[in-house]
Amino acid sequence: MHASEIFRLDGSVAVVTGSTKGIGRAMVQGLAEAGASVVVSSRKQELCDEVAREVTESTGSPALGLACHVGQWDDIAGFVEQVTERLGRIDVLVNNAGINPTHMTPSTMTLEYWHKVFAVNVEGPLRMSQCVAPVMRDHGGGSIVNIASMAAYSGGPGICAYGASKAALVNLTKSMSMEWAPWGIRVNTLAPGPFETEMVAGADRLQPGFRELIASGTRMGRVADASEIAGPVIYLASRASSYVTGDEIAVCGGMQK
């Protein structure tokens, strides 16, 4: 097989949660450019439909907009059923949807907020993967990519719930990879560093100099463009990573774990 072909996703179906903005939007665009039929998902159906139209128009790949709140455990099975009914299969699942960190510290953390963060950032990927894994198994396997964060390794007082949830997701990924390898399902983690997102832009408005601060924590000295996440996610979704599972790839400009 030619080297360029192993990165192609023609004939596959890829679901990306939280894919109407930020790195999720860039990932669904990249997967569609690689030939996959994609499912664009976030909480708002109208926005999902809008982004799905944009993806199809720009790539020529089929795109389905389908809303789902991953923090609602009981809603996820129905979402997966709708995808399989309409597209027939799921070959790639990217668990990207997550709650952004706030400046709530261990001293000020409330149980309500803690539970909310873990419901979206850990329980959502768990339930989504539970529901998708049997579909992948029945079609010969697949790839699940959990989107963690460099905050999983470094923590910080202002992002304690976020960092703890992403650390839990890294560990959960390893357990998933062990259980589902016999089904031909690979499960890996991407840990992004600082990317140009609405979160970073908002933080920079509230705290001038924030962008420069986080850029200084990378060896490359910059914040990544959202499009720079596409290559790593295509690698993990495609046959190019056919012997990779239970692993973590940092996409962070050289930040220290």
Catalytic residues: 162
Encoding tokens for residue 3? 């080297």
Please check whether residue 101 is in contact with residue 159, taking contact to mean a CB–CB distance below 8 angstroms: yes
Encoding tokens for residue 196? 């140009």
Outline where DSSP puts E strands in 161-220. Answer: 185-192
Which residue from 97, 93, 94, 146 is spatially nearest to 117, judged by alpha carbons?
A: 97
What's the CA gap between 238 and 9, in Å, rounded? 6
Encoding tokens for residue 48? 């999902």
What's the CA gap between 182 and 251, in Å, rounded? 28
Encoding tokens for residue 220? 């490359």
What's the CA gap between 188 and 233, in Å, rounded? 10
What's the CA gap between 126 and 49, in Å, rounded? 25
Provide the CA 78 distance to its chain's centre, in angstroms.
20
What's the CA gap between 87 and 78, in Å, rounded? 14
Provide the CA 220 distance to its chain's centre, in angstroms.
23
